A and B are shown apart, each in its own frame.
Chain A
Amino acid sequence: MAKRIEASNVSSYYGNFKAIDGISMTVEPKTITALIGPSGCGKSTFLRSINRMHEVLPNARIEGRLTIDDQNIYDPDVDVTAVRRLIGMVFQRPNPFPTMSIYENVVAGLKLNGVKKKSVLDDAAEQSLKSANLWNEVKDRLNRPGAGLSGGQQQRLCIARTIAVEPQVVLMDEPCSALDPISTLAIEDLMFKLKDRFTIIIVTHNMQQAARVSDKTGFFSIDKTGDPGRLIEYDDTQKIFSNPSEKKTEDYITGRFG
């Protein structure tokens, strides 16, 4: 199921603006990796580079090499939609399709991939919603609009939608920043559960969250506004939060960041 992601010397650009510079890291299968750092330091850009969502924006491009189990993600022959199916993504704000019901939202990805059989879709919807810890709350109203759920439920719905297509890797871009603490806890529980099946990379501003959920943590930073973001330190979460090697990491984690 889960696959290894390897980045070597990845730089991403928006037009002429270099957003991240020379990121190298290896993410092992079935682990949770947290990316932390101040706003604008390129965490999200790096995350979006992994599933090629970066290039959706006009004039966006990357340099360097990104691989999933040694296959080059940016190989010109690779089908970009296949990459995104393999590497799913959960966004900062819950974004269920507003015109679709809960059920339709969950199976939207499968339908895009040509699955038509009702029984297969029904099974997948139930399994994904159960995996996303949402089944018990919505099983009686699958045909109600997905946008009618609470924020936390919507985000779990989006997670269900993402894992319904059986990706290898799940990217999460600040998935809890729009949620209250109880919903956040629900998502974190869910991440532990999903770790058995997927490789998870999560961008978060919440350092306690990074410390709670992740196996490894990468700290990104910029020297000043306009400079590209760099990966300052990447190590076991335990080590980053107790005994970081870099002064900058320590300053950030202890709240003394310039």
Chain B
Amino acid sequence: MGDYPSRSENATAGDLGVTESHTRAAGLGVSPSSYEEPPFGGGGALPKKKRFSMESGFRGLSVGAGAMVLVIIVAIAVFLISKAVPAISADKENFLTFKQWFPNETEPRFGILALAFGTVLTSVIALLVAVPIALGIALFLSHYAPKRLATPLGFVIDLLAAVPSVVFGLWGRDVFMEPVRNFSEWLNKYFSWIPIFGGDGPFGRSVLLGSLVLAIMVLPIVTSLSREVFLQTPGMNEEAALALGATKWEMIRTAVLPYGKPGVIASVMLGLGRALGETIALALTLGVVFNISFNVIENGGNSIAANIANAFGEANETGRGALIASGLVLFAITLVVNMAARAIIYRRREFRDSAA
């Protein structure tokens, strides 16, 4: 604050100095016209700093904006906890280990386990499918595709991110389900000896369908962020790798991927955040079954967010509290995942910092 005195102050304070130097200036042969405006450095007494200025105004605004985040977070947490605690204490079963969801009965019985399991399972499968493809696309766009192709293709990918999730959900349920069901039957016919592809059907509205729809939704996020990071690889490091006799793929492995790793992890975490919180697309595509099963092709699956969307309409007071409690668990899962990601990023922080 006050480090940069405004020009007007300077001008007033400089008046004395100008008249003084004017007389000397003539003698030194410097054109007096150069003193019509007082010199920036001024002269005479040092200007006082202002008590109120734009400086302190902006400072106050930005501090206020920062504080508002905390206020909102605390308000949300207080709301969630105050609604969740009464519902959980009314629960006749253990909230963390029970698998069913009957919160609206006179003897409410509900637990988060099956929902949390379904949430994590669909998200993990979605990422397993989406991330390799997304990284492939990102590398293609950043290092292989000619510029004429990379720009429109990148635009199309970004467009994919802008499609509302309800559209993905409807498309998944009405269009994508048929091929997924056929694929599931094929998997079941030939690979039923692998437990995840076992079962007797019916197939279709399964974890597989939900995960694949999620994968398509996560794909553009991971792709466009990774592409940005890959493009930021310093050209001189790429040249260093090439000059050592690296092929293009070796150059990418030596210079591009290690450099982009923290960014890629961040992009995957953002994708995971979207997958974990995705509501309507999963509510439309999953089979809504409360159990814990690794079978991915049979009708079934559920997730915390989808359950909230499905059950909120008919929920009574305790039921709503129970759903809010499930939301708290989702929040906790996301928090843990994000912290784990940060831990990975910061592990080799020394290398990042010294590179900057």
Residue of A81, A148, A158, A165 touching B240 (CB-CB under 8 A): A158
Chain B at the A interface: SS class: helix
Is A112 in contact with B237, judged by CB distance below 8 angstroms? no
Given A97-B240, A99-B259, A100-B351, 10 additional A-B pairs, CB 8 A: A97-B254, A97-B258, A97-B259, A98-B259, A99-B261, A99-B351, A108-B244, A148-B350, A158-B240, A161-B240
- Whether B246 sits at the interface, judged by CB under 8 Å, is yes
Which residues 331-356 of B sit at the A interface, judged by CB distance below 8 A?
A: 348, 350-352, 354-355
Q: Which stretch (A82-90, A188-196, A233-241) binds chain B?
A: A82-90
Residues of A bordering B, CB below 8 Å: 51, 53, 56, 81-82, 84-85, 88-89, 91, 93, 95-101, 108-109, 112-113, 144-145, 147-148, 158, 161-162, 165
Residue of A nearest to B238 (CB): A56
User: Can you name 9 A-B pairs with beta carbons within 8 Å?
Assistant: A85-B245, A89-B243, A91-B236, A97-B237, A97-B259, A98-B234, A147-B351, A147-B354, A165-B245
Is A145 in contact with B240, judged by CB distance below 8 angstroms? no
Bound state CA distance, A109 and B234, in angstroms? 18
Residues of B bordering A, CB below 8 Å: 234, 236-237, 239-247, 250, 254-255, 258-259, 261, 348, 350-352, 354-355
Bound state CA distance, A147 and B237, in angstroms? 12
Closest 7 CB pairs of A and B: A98-B355, A85-B245, A109-B244, A99-B258, A148-B354, A95-B236, A89-B243
Is A53 in contact with B243, judged by CB distance below 8 angstroms? yes
Residue of A56, A91, A147 touching B355 (CB-CB under 8 A): A147
Residue of A nearest to B147 (CB): A58
Given contacts A99-B348, A100-B258, A108-B254, contact A162 B244 (CB under 8 A): yes
Residues on the A chain within 8 Å of B254, using CB: 97, 108, 112
Is A161 in contact with B354, judged by CB distance below 8 angstroms? no
Residue of B nearest to A86 (CB): B245
Residue of B nearest to A98 (CB): B355
Question: Could you tell me the distance in whole angstroms from the C-beta of A146 to the nearest C-beta in chain B?
Answer: 9
Bound state CA distance, A147 and B236, in angstroms? 13
Given contacts A91-B236, A95-B237, A99-B259, contact A112 B245 (CB under 8 A): yes
Given contacts A145-B350, A145-B355, A147-B355, contact A112 B244 (CB under 8 A): yes
Is B355 in contact with A95, judged by CB distance below 8 angstroms? no
Is A91 in contact with B245, judged by CB distance below 8 angstroms? no
Bound state CA distance, A89 and B261, in angstroms? 27
Is A109 in contact with B245, judged by CB distance below 8 angstroms? yes
Given contacts A91-B239, A91-B240, A158-B240, contact A99 B245 (CB under 8 A): no
Is B237 in contact with A84, judged by CB distance below 8 angstroms? no
Bound state CA distance, A136 and B247, in angstroms? 33
Is A95 in contact with B240, judged by CB distance below 8 angstroms? yes
Chain A at the B interface: SS class: mixed
Bound state CA distance, A44 and B268, in angstroms? 41
Residues on the B chain within 8 Å of A100, using CB: 258, 351
Is A81 in contact with B354, judged by CB distance below 8 angstroms? no
Residue of A nearest to B240 (CB): A95
Bound state CA distance, A109 and B352, in angstroms? 21
Bound state CA distance, A84 and B239, in angstroms? 11
Residues on the B chain within 8 Å of A144, using CB: 350
Bound state CA distance, A51 and B243, in angstroms? 8
Residues on the B chain within 8 Å of A91, using CB: 236, 239-240, 243
Given contacts A108-B254, A148-B354, contact A85 B244 (CB under 8 A): yes
Question: Could you tell me the distance in whole angstroms from the C-beta of B147 to the nearest C-beta in chain A?
Answer: 8
Residue of A82, A93, A97, A158 touching B255 (CB-CB under 8 A): A97
Residues on the B chain within 8 Å of A148, using CB: 350, 354
Residue of A85, A91, A95, A100 ringed by the most chain B CB atoms within 10 A: A95
Bound state CA distance, A101 and B258, in angstroms? 12
Question: Could you tell me the distance in whole angstroms from the C-beta of A90 to the nearest C-beta in chain B?
Answer: 9
Is A81 in contact with B245, judged by CB distance below 8 angstroms? yes
Bound state CA distance, A56 and B87, in angstroms? 65
Given contacts A112-B254, A147-B351, A148-B354, contact A95 B239 (CB under 8 A): yes
Residues on the A chain within 8 Å of B239, using CB: 53, 56, 91, 95
Residues on the B chain within 8 Å of A85, using CB: 244-245
Given contacts A145-B355, A147-B355, A148-B354, contact A88 B244 (CB under 8 A): yes
Is B245 in contact with A82, judged by CB distance below 8 angstroms? yes
Bound state CA distance, A96 and B241, in angstroms? 10
Bound state CA distance, A85 and B241, in angstroms? 11
Residue of A81, A96, A148 ringed by the most chain B CB atoms within 10 A: A81
Bound state CA distance, A145 and B258, in angstroms? 13
Bound state CA distance, A162 and B348, in angstroms? 25
